[in-house]
Amino acid sequence: MNIEQTLQQLRSLKLPGMASTYKAITDLPSHQQPEAHLLVAQLTESEMHHRQDAKMKFLVRISKLRYEATLEQIICSDKRNLSKEQISKLADCSFIKKSENILITGATGAGKSYLACALGHQACCMGYKVTYLNMNRFSERISLSKLDGTFTKLLNYLQKTDLIILDDFGLVPFDQSLRLALLQILEDRYAKSSVIVASQLPIKNWYEYLNDPTIADAILDRLTAKHHRIELKGDSLRKKSVL
């Protein structure tokens, strides 16, 4: 048996997980090497884990999350108005399966964006496609796509995304074009996929912020129909260098 040739064949077949485990097993003394059926099981499991890890890293990379945050890093306390039960309830990402939205509000530095990114990272780990957009970037992408004729392509891309994170909602003025684009995106996603919105503005002020009664009604109806609400409180965490 030519071990090196087998390794090269596994790699050429794009089975790096199997190749790595096979190499480790062949380095063991012969009496410690598993029987054929156990060897196949170990190789298969190794390849599966390798592919899952590679997919997760790819999803995290294309999501463009603002922070490298995880749910384990989130600080829960009464002072923050954030409990471990709330995080635990969202950690399995069942809110995406149920097409539920998450609306996060709080003052500057309360950790809204960090929490949103942690939830986005968790979704990537569970195999969901995530797109992070702060409102400045969102506004730019909408404007440019309408100028270069790719608006429909952008809508189709976002429609296929399991979770969209809209950060800094309330910091960018809405014109009619942006309002209609947001409404179209939410309409495409309604009862199919999820949105996380992070905002300094209390939800009660979103209607006024959108500045168009008819469209504001339609947007808020789609955002709040099925949603989880998190209202972060407390001092700015940036002062403590902790999010």
What residue type is assigned to position 226 of the chain?
A: K
Instruction: State pLDDT tens for residues 145-156.
Output: 999 999 999 999
For residue 19, the model assigns a pLDDT of: 86
Q: What is the average pLDDT score of the chain?
A: 91
pLDDT band at 14, cuts 50/70/90? confident
Q: Which domains does the chain have, with CATH numbers?
A: 3-62 (no CATH), 64-231 (3.40.50.300)
As a whole number, mean pLDDT of residues 167-178 equals 93
Residue 230: φ, ψ to 5° = -125, 120
Please give the Cα distance from 107 to 33 (Å, whole number): 59
> d(Cα 87, Cα 71) in Å, to the nearest integer?
7
Integer CA distances (angstroms), 46 to 7, 34, 160, in order: 14, 14, 30
Average pLDDT over residues 153-163: 96
The phi and psi torsions of 127 (rounded to 5 degrees) equal 90, 10
130-134 and 227-231: which strand pairing? unpaired
Rounded average pLDDT over 96-112: 95
The pLDDT confidence band at residue 10, using thresholds 50, 70 and 90, is confident
pLDDT, tens digit, 9 for 90 and up, residues 209-233: 999 999 999 999 999 999 999 999 9
- pLDDT the model gives residue 24: 87
Q: Higher pLDDT residue, 52 or 99?
A: 99
CA–CA separation, 108 and 233 (whole Å): 10
- According to the model, what pLDDT value does residue 34 have? 83
Question: Per-residue DSSP letters for 169-225?
Answer: ETSS---HHHHHHHHHHHHHHTTTSEEEEEESS-GGGHHHHHT-HHHHHHHHHHHHS
Query: Band of the pLDDT at 238, cuts 50, 70, 90?
Result: low
pLDDT digits (tens, 9 = 90+) for 177-212: 999 999 999 999 999 999 999 999 999 999 999 999
Phi, psi of 13 (to 5 degrees): -85, 5
| 76-99 residue pLDDT tens | 999 999 999 999 999 999 999 999
Give Cβ neighbours of residue 95 (< 8 Å, ≥ 6 apart): 101, 102, 194, 228
- Between 64 and 243, the more confident residue is 64
Identify which has the larger pLDDT, 29 or 221.
221
Query: Residue 239: pLDDT above 80?
Result: no
- DSSP type of residue 231: E
Contact 206, 175 (CB under 8 A): no
pLDDT score for 51:
87
User: The whole model's pTM is what?
Assistant: 0.82
So what's the pLDDT on residue 242? 47
pLDDT at 241 over 80: no
